[in-house]
Each structure stands twice: as C-alpha cells, then as structure tokens.
Amino acid sequence: MPSFQPLTVILCFTEEEAKNALVEVKARIEERGLTLHPEKTRIVDASIEGGFDFLGYHFERNTRWPRKKSMDKLKDSVRQKTKRSSGHSMSSVIKELNRSLRGWFEYFRHSQKSVFVKTDRWIRMRLRSILRRRQGRKGRGRGFDHLKWPNAYFGELGLFTLTAAYDSARQSRCGNH
C-alpha cells in the first residue's frame, strides 16, 4: 500500500492559536490511525526572519518567493538552453526557453514581483551573452549591449517575460481588463 503524506500549512495569528490548532490536528490524525511526522511538524513564526519552505516556496514576513533550490533548478535549466556556444537561432533558443519559463511562472506566479524582475534581467543577460559571442566578443551581456539589443528586441522575438505575465495575472485577479 503506498504511503500517504498530507501536506498542510495552518496559519494562525498567535502562538497560542497555533499550539491549539496543532493539538486539534494531531487528535484528528490519530483518530484515523495516522501520526504526524515529528521532524516536519512544527510551529514557525513566519513574521520574523527565517520563515519556512513549503512546496517549492519560501514563506517569510507575509511574502513568498521560490526557495533557493527552486531558483537554482530554473537557472540550471536556463543555462542549459542558453549556452554561449549554441548554434541555434535566437528565435529557436527563445522558443525552447519559453516552455520552461511559462511552466515555472504558472507554479510560482504568487511570488513577489521582484523575483520576476531579477529573473527576467538575468535571462536577458544570458541571451545577450550568446549574441556577444556570435560577434566574437567575450563576457556577459551588459553595458552597451543593452543599447544594441534592448529588452524590446527580445520581446519582438517572442521572449516570455515573467514580469509582464505577473502584471497581467495581477490585473485579471483585480478585475481590471
């Protein structure tokens, strides 16, 4: 029989409420012949520095963002698709990249906006580095490269922009069309 591991976060206003909730949840779980995992069951004050990680997110001080391991996984995927020595056309690199970016955004869309701004900037730097290399230049895409290949250049090639997707999702959520 496969093991079943329910995943739950219970949010409370006070530590006392959290302790009472834990007692109640523990009693209900034990009624069903199950036990809470002793290392994974804990009370955390997410309003202070440190927070906690849960299902790929880091929760801290009323905000959430992808945990470090989730960001590293995305960056590794982007690095694989944006190698400076890539012989593929920029539009095909972007097309392949967009698949990963769309899926990643759909899962992490509830993160704070700064995550998407920084990640978009980093991705465009990777793409500019490919273009620099094709011109026989070394190094990362920055400085003058922003004038030569502005953000709009990548937009015209169809690059999925996390920040624009975030803004669009926020507008539709707020009822603005």
Q: Residue 138: its pLDDT value, please?
A: 84
142 versus 128: the higher-pLDDT residue is 128
Q: Residue 63: its pLDDT value, please?
A: 86
The residue with tokens 């955004």 is 105
Taking all residues of the chain, what is their mean pLDDT, rounded to a whole number?
A: 88
Q: Residue 37: its pLDDT value, please?
A: 85
- Residue range 31-47, pLDDT digits in tens: 989 888 888 888 888 77
Tokens of 112: 């704070």
- CA-based nearest residue to 162, from 55, 56, 65, 81: 65
pLDDT at residue 72 is higher than 80: yes
Tokens of 149: 């290949």
Q: Letter for the amino acid at 58?
A: H
Q: Tell me the domain boundaries of the chain.
A: 67-174
Strands 63-66 and 57-60: antiparallel
% residues pLDDT > 70 (the chain): 93
pLDDT at residue 173 is higher than 80: no
The torsion angles phi and psi of 52, rounded to 5 degrees, stand at -155, 160
Write the DSSP assignment of 57-75 as a string of letters. Answer: EEEETTEEEE-HHHHHHHH
- Residue range 16-34, pLDDT digits in tens: 999 999 999 889 888 989 8
Contact by Cβ (8 Å): 27, 37 = no
Q: Residue 176: its pLDDT value, please?
A: 54
Distance of alpha carbon 124 from alpha carbon 151, whole angstroms: 7
58 versus 158: the higher-pLDDT residue is 158
Tokens of 50: 């440190």
Planar angle of CA 98, 78, 160, nearest 5 degrees: 25
Q: Residue 172: its pLDDT value, please?
A: 65
Write the DSSP assignment of 100-122 as a string of letters. Answer: HHHHHHHHHTTS-HHHHHHHHHH
The mean pLDDT value for 44-59 works out to 84
